[in-house]
Chain A
Amino acid sequence: MFYRENGQFKSSYAADQQLLPILQDRVFMIALVAFAFVVVPLVVSDYLFLSLLIPFLILALAAIGLNLVVGYCGQISIGHAAFMAVGAYAAYNFVLRVPQLNFLVVLVLAGLVAAAVGMLFGIPSLRIKGLYLAVATLGAQFFMDWVFARVKWFTNYSHSGSVQTAPVELFGWSIDSPQEKYVFLLAVLILFTVIARNLVRGHIGRAWMAMRDMDVAAEVIGIRPVYAKLSAFAVSSFYVGVAGALWGFVHLGSWEPAAFNLTLSLNLLFMIIIGGMGSILGSFFGAAFIVMLPIVLNQLPTLLGIPMSTAMISHLEFMIFGALIVFFLIVEPHGLARLWAIGKEKLRLWPFPH
């Protein structure tokens, strides 16, 4: 009834090619962004910002990055936390050694360094596929863990291998309160989301998807596999590298190599599997699911007033979280994004489904 595009005629190419062709979607998206920018900072508590929203925003960015290479280009990677680490340590070293750089420049440089490293570790994808590639990318994870734990130069010879950063400053604006961090991250995330959306529907994204669906056929129609695969790795690592730098500078403030360990890589992969492979929206759903659900589950018994030991709550949290992952994957193997799409389909017919 409300969600129907009847009467919305497209009379120009621009109208046909816009990101959100349906008016209702546009209105909804503008309202959502306005809500996120204006209302959320006013009403949400610091706790929610620091433990839920800020990690969610950064990991959503990382999940988009991973989705580009895994979901769109079909190259499985379980080493993406390593590229986050590259981004974080690159940013740390840029800030340390060239202090006059603007943080936005640092972010881009960190992303570029991560992209270079990502391309290097993407080279095996030219020869091997599927699970074999996954194992090869695992090498990136262990190698980077090793590098940042052992090569002291990267951590500025700190005793314990952990590094600290000062609060981020942009044009005299010191980003240190939870609200400021949130607004800054939200802006970065929206910018990168728009870029990603445009990338995947342009010729680059189409090349990636052709490569994912059938590499031989893609090659026959003139897509160069070297270029397509390595560009996917580069763009993906760039995203993840930026996310890593934000994770270190804005969220953690001080970190050790273990902050970017295999668990984080796997979590990123779970995010896109649960959220939806090959879907930008799915990256958001997946990040929300993985970041927020455990914390919510952990506080549920206390909120409901059920007396329970903290150990019991933790065990329950693991069990319910695991069960929910299985549940969602059975209900919709294509992820939460697919559920969302089905919901939209249904809404078009509502209230008179045929």
Chain B
Amino acid sequence: MKAKLKPAVLAAALAVSAIVAAVGSTSAVAQAKEQFFPVLSYRTGAYAPNGIPFANGFVDYLKLVNARDGGINGVKITWEECETGYATDRGVECYERLKGKGPTGATLFHPLSTGITFAVTDKSFVDKIPIITGGYGRADSVDGTVFGWNFPLGGTYWDAADILVQHVGKINGGVDKLKGKKIALVYHDSPYGKEPIALLEERAKMHGYQLLLLPVTHPGVEQKATWLQIRQQRPDYVFLWGWGVMNSTSLKEAVATGYPRNQMYGVWWSGAEPDVVPAGDGAKGYHALVFLAPAGQGAVHKDILRHVHDKGQGTGKKEEVGEVLYNRGMTFAMMSVEAVKRAQVRYGKKPLKGEEVRWGLENMALDAGAIKRLGFEGFMTPISTSCVDHAGGRSARLHTWDGRKWAVQPGMYEADQSIIKPMIRASAEKYAAEKKIVKRDCAKESQQ
């Protein structure tokens, strides 16, 4: 028996070792006029319901640029997806796998997870590839002098938390009226969920509200203990900082606990269709932040339907086009493409390296006119970045789930930089000291 099996095992071992050798040798593609976009996505695991529409929106927009415009000024876009499953180690593996592909290497990365962002931030200094973390990642990475390669385009969790406090303050007739109120933060127990705590604590000191911190462990399907605490403590507001199945579970628990949903506010990652639909009618009245693009369809969606979906090239289902996360993925792709376009102005209409794309990202100015030209009117807030400011914008609206769709609420909020700026500076300084990073001199670089 053993004697017969051994050759089979040996053959298997040989095959595996041959494959290991092959995995490493990614042959260099001939210098084609192509710009390579790595796509880190998660279509499996606990966060797949949220990961799928995002990835589809992202890839659909890339397809649109190729189909409608013939690429970015004639440079075709190529891309490859890599499944991270929202796991940090696999995300890092994907990053390593894709960073060297294409004629000029990876253009930029969207890690799509705060954990992966933290891990690849280190590597970006060596690889010189920008890391785009629109609406997630490290809050202090706004500081481009320390985080030379991170771009939290459009805002960070500190901005989000700040806006939510401003909003509940406004409801109460001014932030000073928050004194003595209780705000509970129900958060995903990971770097993602912990990011806003620093700001909420800072604001608590200023306004005198009481902050309850209620962590929920991955993946977030078990929240009975958390909501028991909410039942006992009766906070005036619940801020929800969840992702994936955790969000809908929170809403269901809120129904079971009898906590009013209209006193619940989600961050922009807790405010999409997959978060509220599973909770059924129970989700009615729940609010969440909008990151850049709300749900709905505009001019760009018509183009996507015409150039991509009608030709049978759609990445996902047609009904998905216009969902919150689909739109967000699409917006992220648009910002990435625009960064390359901007960089082409300086470096020429050819495939660009990550280092060159960074210049585009640092000199991006998407004003109302540009947004309209791109067909994103109503689905994008203006962004203007610089070497020092890698976010470029920090405003957001709220939307409310009415049982069938997300209804955007009037009123745009802007995060209060007088509070956030000093925090960013302190945190970035600490990071630079721990990592022994030499800060960039933005004034000097702009002269070159």
Which residues of A approach B to under 8 Å, CB–CB? Answer: 44-48, 50-52, 55, 96, 149, 156, 159-162, 164-166, 176, 252-256, 258-259, 292-293, 295-296, 298-300, 303, 309-311, 313-315, 331, 339, 342-343, 346
Contacts and interface: CB of A to CB of B under 8 A. Distances in A.
Given A47-B97, A52-B20, A96-B434, A256 B83 contact: no
A253 B119 contact: yes
Interface residues of B, number: 55
Contact of B44 (A252, A314, A343): A314
A47 B96 contact: yes
A296 B19 contact: yes
A29 to B, nearest CB: 18
A315 B24 CA distance: 22
Nearest to B431: A164
Contacts of B9: 331, 339
B93 interface: yes
B19 A311 contact: no
B115 A166 contact: no
Given A96-B434, A166-B434, A176-B126, A309 B24 contact: no
A310 B2 contact: no
Given A162-B191, A256-B191, A342-B2, A303 B118 contact: no
| Top 7 A-B pairs, shortest CB-CB distance | A311-B43, A160-B191, A48-B24, A253-B122, A310-B83, A159-B198, A51-B93
A293 B16 contact: yes
A47 B97 CA distance: 6
Contact of B427 (A149, A159, A255, A259): A159
B347 to A, nearest CB: 25
Interface in B169-183: none
Interface of B: 2-3, 5-6, 9-10, 16, 19-20, 22-26, 41, 43-44, 48, 81-83, 85, 88-89, 92-93, 96-97, 100, 114-115, 118-119, 121-123, 126, 138-140, 189-192, 194-195, 197-198, 215, 218, 427, 431, 434-436
Contacts of A46: 96, 100
Given A309-B43, A310-B81, A314-B44, A164 B122 contact: yes
B97 A51 contact: yes
Contact of A162 (B22, B89, B118): B118
Given A44-B24, A161-B191, A310-B43, A346 B118 contact: no
- Interface SS of A by simple majority: helix
Instruction: With a 10 A CB-CB cut-off, give which of B5, B118, B138, B435 has the most chain A CB atoms.
Output: B118
A295 B92 CA distance: 12
B17 to A, nearest CB: 10
Contacts of A292: 20
Given A47-B96, A295-B93, A296-B16, 6 more contacts: A51-B93, A160-B118, A254-B118, A259-B88, A299-B23, A343-B10
26 contacts: A44-B24, A46-B96, A50-B96, A52-B20, A96-B434, A159-B194, A159-B427, A160-B191, A161-B191, A162-B191, A164-B118, A164-B431, A252-B119, A253-B122, A258-B115, A258-B218, A292-B20, A296-B16, A299-B23, A299-B97, A303-B23, A311-B43, A311-B48, A314-B85, A315-B44, A339-B9
Nearest to B196: A159
A165 B119 CA distance: 11
B6 A311 contact: no
A303 B81 CA distance: 14
